[in-house]
Structure 1
Amino acid sequence: MDMRIPQMDLILPWDRLRDWVHCMAVVTFDLELGQTLEMLFPPHVKLTESERSNICYLSFPDSNSGCMGDTQFHFRIRHAPSKLDLVECQQFSKAYNSKCPPALQVDQNSILGYVYFRQVKDPTLRRGYFQKSVVIMSKFPFLNLFTQMLDILAPEFFDKGPNVISSACKDIYVWPIPTPGQILSLPFLGTNLQITIPTINCLSNGSPVTSSQMNTQVTSFGSKISTIIPSVYQADLFQALRPVLSHVHLLWELVLTAEPIVVMAPLPDTCANTVHALLSMIFPLRYCADYRPYFTIHDSDFKEYTMKTNPPPPVILGVTNPFFAKTLQHWPHIIRMGETCGVNIGKLKKASNFKLLDSQPGVYTGYKPFLQKDKGLLKKIVMGMQSQRPVEVQTVILRKHLHELTESFMIPLERYLASLMPLQKNICPCKSAPLPRPFNPEEFLATLDTSGPQLTTGIKGDWSGLYKKFFRSINFSEWYNMRYREAAEKLQALHLEIMSDSDIQSWISGRDEVEAVDLILRLREQIAQTNLPVKTDVREKLRTHVDSIIKTLPDDLQSVLHCD
């Protein structure tokens, strides 16, 4: 098979790919070099040596995994974008992130790799096996979309060679920009993929395409096969967490408070899917700590995450190599996934009793949950298994429960945050825009008796204790910083709107030149801020005010300010 990069790479404007895909790669096994990067698309994409090494090692299962046939999994690595890439990506991601749920926002400092690995016996090769991976690197956490793309792309590549990847990239080049809330039709190697990215105001866990919308899209693509992807990101919670479902509420608390967790599984797809399911448990809240769906001893961050001199950092690791059973036995929370597909209804195992290599599936921790289990949910899930209820329905039940639990936890926080906003009548156009009052944990906890989670959920327990633990986590600090920034921007926009409707001429009358110039500079700076949710007519009114104020100043000052 000819593995040279097709010449079309030189003329195709590849940069448009970055709207969806950072790059595509083919990783193969070399007897002398080990895992090597055989091809990279586009060929001029810039990767650091660390990124290249991580992609190579993370695109293959560990040697002890024994994956035969085709296996799909995903990983996540740190990413160092160039200055030029950072400027361009920030402009795009800012617009995208403002419209989608926090859990689906892109992170400029990390990148996800979606892998299709094939290992089959081949007596014509010196090693006796054909081993190769096709990898899509992207900043988007769209597991279901990229899994479907690899289902189409990888088998074609293994059969026909690198021209298939070039054709795939050419298709992606004409895709519309990722826009939350819109039905997007994505032509891909003879198939029309239909997706909807949920918006930030989406109340459910997904935005499935309706049948009427689906029919409209299919007819426009004629003879192409149409594949509907109801959710680009939703995890199969029931299948992924099946062995540990009896501890689902404890796991929810661990993820919510960003506790260090290691998932040990025999295969990379099992550990990656389990990590993805854990992150999905607290949707729509974003998991803000680090997470690695698949992690190996060759990862550039291996030493950082396995050193025993410091407590484990807030991260979720998915591993398959038995070496980690010893290396990470000091971690406080270990989830061991096995081959069994039944529900583990046993008790929690103490972390101190963790056996190194022959441990049974289960959750090993000394953590004492703050909340009680919802026995009704667990009973419903078990009865569903006994009646052979479809796994898709089981997942919907589980997802709906966890979504409502997270919402019940966050609603009091959102309500309290709203109370920190100043009243509109107290916003004065003559003064600077006000800011929300600081968050006071004790003041918030005092509101729980009258407006706590008990109003929306029947789960009992020490909610106050759980909130206190949550306040110490990165999930809270990142959520609060984001919400505070949004509130401050809204106040600033409201302040500008009030200023645009006020009588600036009356206010400026009798003021000295310093105050007038200060107001001009302040208004100009605020008008130029594109991140503020300010209407166009408001900005125009403010520009008119600026021009009016300038005219009241001496000629020399007018000349200086007009030059600015």
Structure 2
Amino acid sequence: SRAGVTAEDGRGPSQHVPHSAPPWARFSAWLECVCVVTFDLELGQALEPALTWFPVFQKSSICYLSFPDSHSGCLGDTQFSFRIRQCGGQRSPWHAEDRRYDSGAPVSLQREPAHYFGYVYFRQVKDSSVKRGYFQKSLVLVSRLPFVRLFQALLSLIAPEYFDKLAPCLEAVCNEIDQWPAPVPGQTLNLPVMGVVLQVRVPSRMDKPEHSPPKQCSHEVGPCFWASGLAPASTLPPAQASLPHSCFQPVLTHVQTLWELMLLGEPLVVLAPSPAMSSEMVLALISCLQPLKFCCDYRPYFTIHDSEFKEFTTRTQAPPNVVLGVTNPFFIKTLQHWPHILRVGEPKMSGDLPKQVKLKKPSRLKTLDTKPGVCPLGCSPSSAAHLHRDKALLKRLLKGLQKKRPWDTQTALLRRHLLELTQSFIIPLEHYMASLMPLQKSITPWKTPPQIRPFRQDDFLRSLEHAGPQLTCILKGDWLGLYRRFFKSPHFDGWYRQRYKEMAHKLEALHLEAICEANIEAWMKDKSEVEVVDLVLKLREKLVQAQGHQLPVKEATLRQAQLYIETVIGSLPKDLQAVLCPP
């Protein structure tokens, strides 16, 4: 069922949703569905009850991704996440409002247009009343929002209660979620559930990047949240950091190399002993690039039963730009042709420090070698690290581990380093891109706005000599080589398209402002009716864009544009007025 009602009728009670809103609109603003996956002796993993509005093979994918692989052997309670492609089926009523939310949200927290996120709470405990001797069940939240910490915290509240009381509890929770206000970037929301109020601040793209260690009480949901209400906040489990330092402990010496692989969109397999560890590591890796959007595919947890298994494992073409989190050692044999494999395990100590995994050469790669390690990162010219390692930072982090410095502080140090590294890389690109924007004085009211000049890679590379990353970053290395490879990656294409779109909208906004500052009556004196009607249509088109949050214009400009439209229409003959302003 979805929100406590059957998928077939798709309706349910909602006291505070306006009559004009689709059924379960507020629920759909947060979640696509809530489902339960159980183990059936004859069918294996099965949905309970069926989600009829998902394609058949997608139901199967959700079932397999909601249980740990048999190699994991997870006893007790386990939380992890997965990501799957959206392939047809019913779309939630909230999809129409994506643009409004996305216009204010950071690029890394925008709704996924083509993927679903699955947040899983799996329980496996001994139970003599069950034939297999174990109770095995998962509660899964499916959403298009990448709010990992919030949904994990929500599951930690509702899953234990659901496993004890089953359906009635879940229906009550879904009805509570259906009363939640929609997520709005930059606002703090109170979300009541099961006697607790989750106070959530959805980050805004206007927020400054985090440079200092996090406070005792966090405020962000994508990356963090806090809770209050009838149950004290301390009863909630600690929320997962957006860049978990704990999973990076064994690979601290390679974090910078991993950052380069993420920046270049290189294919990478993460082999971990459990879905929790694989999803944590994959999500930590993709967060390395913030505030740059991760434009490649990634799967925090992936199984051999996934519908895209053949697509990702074929040897007839180069490996796709994807980061795969897996737990089945079979993938090591299947993906031997992939250039980068990261094996992580339970942290082993060497004295007071976590033992660091080592780089392994391809010649030493055994078919089913599952010992922790990184292979073949840095072993071939095409994958060699371009930048020198920051030894001072590494020494500080290892010393912090030795002195048992709090994880929050350690994480903040690493996050700040990677944030500054990404910013140092992106700032020269931003400066060069800004230089391609036409001058404001070249924008005139009654002419088409000038075009943005093309991005020329050679010109940009020449500009690095006096405006390169060396101005903000002390790290030495082959920055030119790193930029050249970045130009071939999906991340450059994604970044350039986004920046070009923003600049184009800015040009349109400046053009609209120029029109609104001009003398419209003087312009109309010697113009034909065709030219006047053309102006009305263009102004209306710009207003529609601006009101849809596509153009960065002031309210005063919008009012002036509307006034101009009315003035221009009023100057036309009655028959044309009737056409342009039908009753």
Question: Fold conserved (TM > 0.5)?
Answer: yes
Structure 2: distance between partners of 1:251 and 1:212: 27
- What letter matches 1:28 in structure 2? T
Q: Does 1:168 align with 2:154?
A: no
Q: Does 1:241 align with 2:241?
A: no
Q: Does 1:147 align with 2:152?
A: yes
Aligned to 1:444: 460
Q: Does 1:489 align with 2:500?
A: no
Contact in 1 for aligned 2:25/2:94 (Cα 8 Å):
no
Matches within 5 A, 1:239-278: 239-278=246-285
Structure 1: distance between partners of 2:358 and 2:272: 20
Provide closer, same or farther for how the CA distance between residues 39 and 83 of structure 1 changes in structure 2, counting only shifts above 3 A.
closer
Provide closer, same or farther for how the CA distance between residues 205 and 90 of structure 1 changes in structure 2, counting only shifts above 3 A.
farther
- What letter matches 2:86 in structure 1? H
Q: Does 1:356 align with 2:356?
A: no
TM-score, normalised to structure 1's length? Answer: 0.91
Contact in 1 for aligned 2:196/2:230 (Cα 8 Å):
no
SS in 2 for 1:310: coil
Aligned mate of 1:119, from 124, 128, 140: 124
Compute the displacement of 1:228 (Å).
9.9
SS in 1 for 2:48: strand
Structure 2: distance between partners of 1:399 and 1:50: 38
Q: Does 1:457 align with 2:473?
A: yes
Aligned to 1:537: 556
- What letter matches 1:33 in structure 2? L
Aligned to 2:21: none
C-alpha deviations, 1:105-124, integer Å up to 9, x for none?
11121011011111112222
- What letter matches 2:181 in structure 1? P
Provide closer, same or farther for how the CA distance between residues 213 and 243 of structure 1 changes in structure 2, counting only shifts above 3 A.
closer
Provide closer, same or farther for how the CA distance between residues 111 and 346 of structure 1 changes in structure 2, counting only shifts above 3 A.
closer
Provide closer, same or farther for how the CA distance between residues 449 and 90 of structure 1 changes in structure 2, counting only shifts above 3 A.
farther
Q: Does 1:96 align with 2:76?
A: no
Q: Does 1:428 align with 2:438?
A: no
Structure 2: distance between partners of 1:221 and 1:69: 27
Compute the displacement of 1:15 (Å).
3.3
C-alpha deviations, 1:258-289, integer Å up to 9, x for none?
11011011111111100011011111111111
Aligned to 1:394: 410
- What letter matches 1:53 in structure 2? S
Matches within 5 A, 1:106-255: 106-205=111-210, 223-226=230-233, 234-255=241-262
Structure 2: distance between partners of 1:499 and 1:155: 61
Matches within 5 A, 1:445-524: 445-524=461-540
What stretches of structure 2 of length at least 5 have no aligned partner? 15-23, 221-226
Q: Does 1:547 align with 2:566?
A: yes
Compute the displacement of 1:57 (Å).
0.6
TM-score, normalised to structure 2's length? Answer: 0.88
Contact in 1 for aligned 2:520/2:564 (Cα 8 Å):
yes
Aligned to 2:64: 57
What stretches of structure 1 of length at least 5 have no aligned partner? 215-219
Provide closer, same or farther for how the CA distance between residues 347 and 520 of structure 1 changes in structure 2, counting only shifts above 3 A.
same
SS in 2 for 1:272: helix
Structure 2: distance between partners of 1:231 and 1:449: 46
Matches within 5 A, 1:328-407: 328-342=335-349, 343-345=354-356, 347-365=358-376, 366=380, 367-407=383-423
Aligned mate of 2:33, from 19, 23, 30: 23
- Please, what is the CA RMSD of the aligned residues? 2.7
Pairs aligned (count) = 551
Structure 2: distance between partners of 1:400 and 1:230: 25
C-alpha deviations, 1:469-524, integer Å up to 9, x for none?
11111111111111111111111111111101101222232233332232222122
Contact in 2 for aligned 1:28/1:131 (Cα 8 Å):
yes
- What letter matches 2:346 in structure 1? E
Which 10-residue stretch deviates more, 411-420 or 434-443? 434-443
Structure 2: distance between partners of 1:433 and 1:440: 21
Q: Does 1:35 align with 2:45?
A: yes
- What letter matches 1:145 in structure 2? L
- What letter matches 2:362 in structure 1? A
- What letter matches 2:542 in structure 1? Q
- What letter matches 1:353 in structure 2? R
Structure 2: distance between partners of 1:283 and 1:350: 30
SS in 2 for 1:318: strand
Compute the displacement of 1:195 (Å).
2.4
In percent, how many aligned pairs have the same letter?
A: 48
Provide closer, same or farther for how the CA distance between residues 234 and 523 of structure 1 changes in structure 2, counting only shifts above 3 A.
same
Structure 2: distance between partners of 1:269 and 1:511: 68
Q: Does 1:560 align with 2:579?
A: yes
SS in 2 for 1:447: helix
Compute the displacement of 1:304 (Å).
0.5
Aligned mate of 1:320, from 321, 324, 327: 327
Structure 2: distance between partners of 1:235 and 1:229: 17
C-alpha deviations, 1:176-224, integer Å up to 9, x for none?
221222222221212222222221122234996887999xxxxx97644
Contact in 2 for aligned 1:260/1:315 (Cα 8 Å):
yes
Provide closer, same or farther for how the CA distance between residues 510 and 82 of structure 1 changes in structure 2, counting only shifts above 3 A.
farther
Structure 2: distance between partners of 1:195 and 1:119: 31
SS in 1 for 2:49: strand
Contact in 1 for aligned 2:278/2:327 (Cα 8 Å):
yes
Contact in 2 for aligned 1:191/1:227 (Cα 8 Å):
no
Compute the displacement of 1:428 (Å).
0.5
Aligned to 1:12: 13
Aligned to 2:299: 292
Compute the displacement of 1:364 (Å).
0.4
Provide closer, same or farther for how the CA distance between residues 145 and 550 of structure 1 changes in structure 2, counting only shifts above 3 A.
closer
C-alpha deviations, 1:419-439, integer Å up to 9, x for none?
111111111001123332221
Structure 1: distance between partners of 2:178 and 2:45: 29
Compute the displacement of 1:257 (Å).
1.1
Structure 1: distance between partners of 2:243 and 2:565: 56
Contact in 2 for aligned 1:62/1:296 (Cα 8 Å):
yes
Structure 1: distance between partners of 2:289 and 2:236: 22
Contact in 2 for aligned 1:235/1:273 (Cα 8 Å):
no
- What letter matches 1:155 in structure 2? P
Structure 2: distance between partners of 1:227 and 1:435: 55
Compute the displacement of 1:89 (Å).
3.5
Structure 1: distance between partners of 2:390 and 2:208: 22
Aligned to 1:217: none
Provide closer, same or farther for how the CA distance between residues 352 and 428 of structure 1 changes in structure 2, counting only shifts above 3 A.
farther
- What letter matches 2:32 in structure 1? H
Structure 1: distance between partners of 2:484 and 2:91: 41
